[in-house]
Amino acid sequence: MTGADSRIPEALPDTLAQPVDAFIEYLAAERRQSPHTCAAYRRDLTRLAQWLASQAPALTVWGQVTESDVRRYAATLNREGLTGRSIARALSAIRRFYEYLIREHRLRHNPALAVKAPRSGRRLPVAADADQLAHLLDTPSEEPLEVRDLAMFELFYSSGLRLSELTGLDLGNLDLTSGEVRVLGKGSRERLLPIGRKARQALEQWLKLRPAFAADSEPAVFVSQRGSRLSSRSVQLRLARWGQKCGADQHLHPHLLRHSFASHLLESSGDLRAVQELLGHADIATTQVYTHLNFQHLAQVYDRAHPRARRRSAVRQAPGDTIDDG
């Protein structure tokens, strides 16, 4: 069978196994899905078929599956610890399988159509320590390309740019006299951002060296050793390399600098709307994730500094002590 792995276990009736085999064959031969994708669909559907067989031994055909069955299956996956994203992927596989059966005139109803996966907790972005970032950015550059790299990293942290915004930056977008940079963000939305003093100094140093690499006709601010616009992948690799060289205790990447910009600015100002504008978020709900980071920072300060918090901590650290209630 083209692009398909081992068949559904023999313990399942052919009336459940055969339609899945036909669906995987369809994905591989007609839809040109990769073997990896076909294997993922097979795993999801095999898992469902085995669960159905264990729950209702009399269930022998896919047409007997109800929306209630699919909901109970999703709840089972949730209890087993699968994330909302994994459950959503499983439900997507089930919906697509039933779409195939309906297209083949085997069934008329898709029982997974209205079933939604539980929402996963949103992963908080990681922010670097401000003192560590200062150390990394203050490390002297030893060669022209490192001068370029430092200018990029300073601009990331100074203005909160996205990676695509930095690599797409042209000379005409920079105004170092007024300390401003104009970037084109998501949805082709332009925004004007301030450039901090350190970033302006780093950019001035790079622009003095840039003519040795780029032709007069090249508009990109950041160019490679061959003079062409620097790629996103190159920026990622150079930043990771800089972190290793400077002894950073975490992996450095462009989003880390953008997240750090937002988190540190919010800690200092408390102005969520301003951070939203600077980041270029269309919806403030996207920016609100940084309030959680800010609260975590405040909670850590509280635990270290508040007398009652310290006392509770001390009691926990000395479980053998007794407390005189008198």
DSSP assigned state of 216: T
The active-site residue, picked from 71, 106, 281, 297, is 281
Known catalytic residue at 258: yes
DSSP line for 10-39: TTS-HHHHHHHHHHHHHHHHTS---HHHHH
Is residue 281 annotated as part of the catalytic site, yes or no?
yes
Which of 186, 251, 292, 304 does the annotation list as catalytic? 186
**H or E stretch at 192:** strand 190-194
What's the angle, vertex CA 244, arms to CA 238 and CA 245, rounded to 5? 85
| Cα gap 61→106, rounded to integer Å | 11
Q: Tell me which of 162, 210, 238, 259 is the catalytic residue.
A: 162
Number of H helices, E strands in the chain: 14, 3
Among 200, 258, 259, 264, the active-site one is 258
Q: What radius of gyration do the chain's Cα atoms show?
A: 28
Is 116 catalytic? The answer is no
Q: Which of 85, 116, 135, 255 is catalytic?
A: 255
- DSSP 8-state code for residue 237: H
DSSP state for residue 324 in the 8-state scheme: -
- Residue 186 a catalytic site member: yes
7 catalytic? Reply is no
Which candidate, 176, 237, 232, 178, places its Cα nearest to that of 208?
176
**Residue 202 belongs to what H/E stretch?**
helix 197-209
182 among known catalytic residues? no
Asked if 26 and 67 count as a contact pair (C-beta separation under 8 A), the reply is no
For the beta carbon of residue 181, count every other beta carbon within 10 angstroms: 25
* Strands ordered across the beta sheet of 174-175: 174-175, 180-184, 190-194
The answer to whether the beta carbons of residues 163 and 235 sit under 8 Å apart is yes
Give the separation between CA 258 and CA 266, rounded to whole angstroms. 12
CA–CA dist 160, 255 (Å, integer): 9
Q: Which residues pair with 194 in a beta bridge?
A: 180
Residue position matching structure tokens 């709307």:
273
Mind telling me the catalytic residues? 162, 186, 255, 258, 281, 290
